[in-house]
């Protein structure tokens, strides 16, 4: 039986709320982890909001002097995605369980005492 966790904050998008539920079901989180999870979900939503603006208005805009500039939403999307990635890393959601052995066993000839006169 899957574990149930706290409900996602009401202001999250359906996509972010679904992700929240999967994380709290699959991982054991403490209170401070839930706050990081909320911030990550909000960052994801912000990146998606910025993406929608970019899709509608384009990645560039023309200022009052007719100079082509990056649309402000491009920076918002970048910052939100970076924040999301950092928060997920902080939560250790992107790390697989390390193998039981980090390297193969040493060669017998490399062990101490094998060739010692004794």
Instruction: Check residue 54 and give its pLDDT.
Output: 97
Domain ranges of the chain: 31-95
How much is the pLDDT for 99? 59
The pLDDT of residue 93: 79
d(Cα 19, Cα 47) in Å, to the nearest integer?
15
pLDDT at 34: 96
pLDDT for 108: 58
- Pick out the chain residues at pLDDT < 70: 1-3, 94-118
């Amino acid at each position: 039986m899957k574990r149930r966790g706290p409900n996602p904050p009401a202001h999250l998008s359906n996509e972010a709320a679904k992700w929240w539920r999967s994380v709290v079901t699959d991982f054991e989180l403490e209170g401070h982890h839930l706050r990081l999870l909320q911030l990550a979900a909000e960052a994801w939503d912000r990146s998606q909001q910025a993406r929608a603006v970019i899709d509608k208005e384009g990645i560039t805009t023309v200022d009052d002097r007719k100079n082509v500039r990056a649309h402000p939403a491009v920076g918002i999307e970048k910052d939100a995605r970076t924040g999301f990635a950092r928060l997920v890393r902080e939560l250790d959601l992107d790390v697989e369980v390390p193998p039981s052995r980090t390297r193969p066993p040493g060669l017998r000839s490399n062990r101490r005492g094998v060739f010692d006169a004794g």
